[in-house]
Chain A
Amino acid sequence: NAGVTQTPKFRVLKTGQSMTLLCAQDMNHEYMYWYRQDPGMGLRLIHYSVGEGTTAKGEVPDGYNVSRLKKQNFLLGLESAAPSQTSVYFCASNGQGAGYQPQHFGDGTRLSIL
């Protein structure tokens, strides 16, 4: 019963390096989201997807790219990491159906940019 799995859990990067965060869900959910969590600011939506092959910008998309080539996976990329991107990143997913479908969250990826 994995739910939403994020890889890696921790990572330290140097400024200018690139990396990809992976999110995988096994619930056949249509919608997937990437958030960042910073002290005193709650969670802010970076990008989201409403289905395989689709992506859309959220509240804070600059400096990030995403891809949803497979329904179960949602990748978040940092092409040139900056210290301002030091944060905890959460992936979430939810399905479609009658009524509100709650978002299921992964346990987060703690990313530090030096």
Chain B
Amino acid sequence: GDSVTQMEGPVTLSEEAFLTINCTYTATGYPSLFWYVQYPGEGLQLLLKATKADDKGSNKGFEATYRKETTSFHLEKGSVQVSDSAVYFCALSRGGGNKLTFGTGTQLKVEL
């Protein structure tokens, strides 16, 4: 079946540091790929998406490129802020019903 693997956390960075959170997937066909973010005490929010190979999703300074050859969708940001502290989930969608398969989540902590 479909699966998503992402790096374990927590990831602790200083403000203005470069962020990479790795995500790889296993799925047949051509899934759509997503990053969701969960701030403390809240539900998940869509951060960015890519629906086909070589697409780059971007939002709020975050970027991720759909790499079919390496089945990856790594999340990057050039300069993180304290307000970016949250849990980040990589996910894929394939087939009917728009169902999502999530990775286990990576907690990011940004310190001053």
Contact = CB atoms under 8 A, between A and B. Distances in A.
Interface in B41-77: 41-46, 49, 51
Contact of B99 (A33, A40, A108): A33
B37 to A, nearest CB: 11
B98 A43 contact: no
Contact of B93 (A42, A50, A100, A108): A100
Given A4-B43, A43-B44, A102 B49 contact: yes
Interface residues of A, number: 25
A41 B89 CA distance: 11
A90 B44 contact: yes
Interface residues of B, number: 22
Nearest to B1: A59
Contact of B103 (A31, A42, A90, A106): A42
A45 B103 CA distance: 12
A28 interface: no
A101 B98 contact: yes
A48 B43 contact: no
Interface of A: 4, 31, 33, 40-45, 48, 50, 56, 58, 90, 92, 94, 99-103, 105-108
